[in-house]
Amino acid sequence: MSENKDNGTGRDAGDAGIPLGGLASETSSGAAATAAASQERWAGLRLPAPPAGTLDAFARLYGIIARLRGPGGCPWDIEQSPATLRETLIEEAYETVEAITDGDAPHVREELGDVFLNVTMLAYMYEQSGDFLVRDSLNDVAEKLVRRHPHVFGETAGFAGPLSSAKTDTAEKVLAQWEMIKRGVEGRKADSVLDEVSRGMPALERAHKLQKKAAKSGFDWATLDDVWPKIDEELAELREAVAAREAVSGDDAEVEAARSRIEDELGDLLFAVVNVARHLKVDPGVAIARTNAKFTRRFRHVEASMKGAGIPMDKAHLADMDRFWDEAKRKE
Tell me: pLDDT of 198 over 50.
yes
pLDDT of residue 132: 97
Using pLDDT thresholds of 50, 70 and 90, give the confidence band for residue 29. Answer: low
Which candidate, 202, 284, 271, 288, places its Cα nearest to that of 237? 271
CB-based burial of residue 94 (10 Å sphere; 0-12 exposed, 13-18 middle, 19+ buried)? middle
pLDDT beyond 60 at 228 = yes
CA atoms within a 13 Å half-sphere pointing along the CA-CB vector of 275: 22
Residue 21 has pLDDT above 50, yes or no: no
Kindly give the residue spans of alpha helices, DSSP state H, lying in the chain: 29-43, 54-69, 75-79, 86-102, 105-128, 134-147, 150-153, 171-180, 203-216, 224-246, 252-279, 284-308, 318-331
pLDDT value of residue 28: 57
Percent over 90 (pLDDT), the chain: 67
Q: Give the C-alpha separation, 119 to 111, whole Å.
A: 12
C-alpha to C-alpha distance for 160 and 168, rounded to whole angstroms: 7
pLDDT at position 319 is: 97
pLDDT of 155 higher than 80: yes
Tell me if 95 sits within 8 A of 111, measured CB to CB. Answer: yes
The CB density around residue 212, as the number of other CB atoms within 10 Å, is 14
Stretch 234-250: mean pLDDT: 91
Return the C-alpha torsion angle 272, 277, 279, 281, nearest 10. -160
pLDDT at 31 over 80: no
Categorize the per-residue pLDDT at 252 as very low, low, confident or very high, splitting at 50, 70 and 90.
Answer: confident
The CA R_g of the chain, rounded to the nearest whole Å, is: 27
What pTM does this model have?
0.64
Q: Identify the CA nearest to 120 among candidates 61, 56, 53.
A: 61
> Model confidence at 30, in pLDDT bands (50, 70, 90)?
low
- Lowest-confidence pick of 56-65, 125-134, 181-190: 181-190
Residue pLDDT, tens place only, 275-325: 999 999 999 988 998 899 899 999 999 999 999 999 999 999 999 999 999
Given this model, what pLDDT does residue 140 score? 94
Choice between 42 and 258, residue whose per-residue pLDDT is larger: 258
- pLDDT at res. 18: 38
Mean pLDDT of the chain: 88
How far from 278 is each of 83, 205, 226, 301, 305, CA to CA, in Å?
Answer: 32, 11, 13, 32, 38
What integer pLDDT is reported at residue 280 of this predicted model? 97
Between 19-33, 102-116, 189-203, 290-304, the lowest mean confidence (pLDDT) is in 19-33
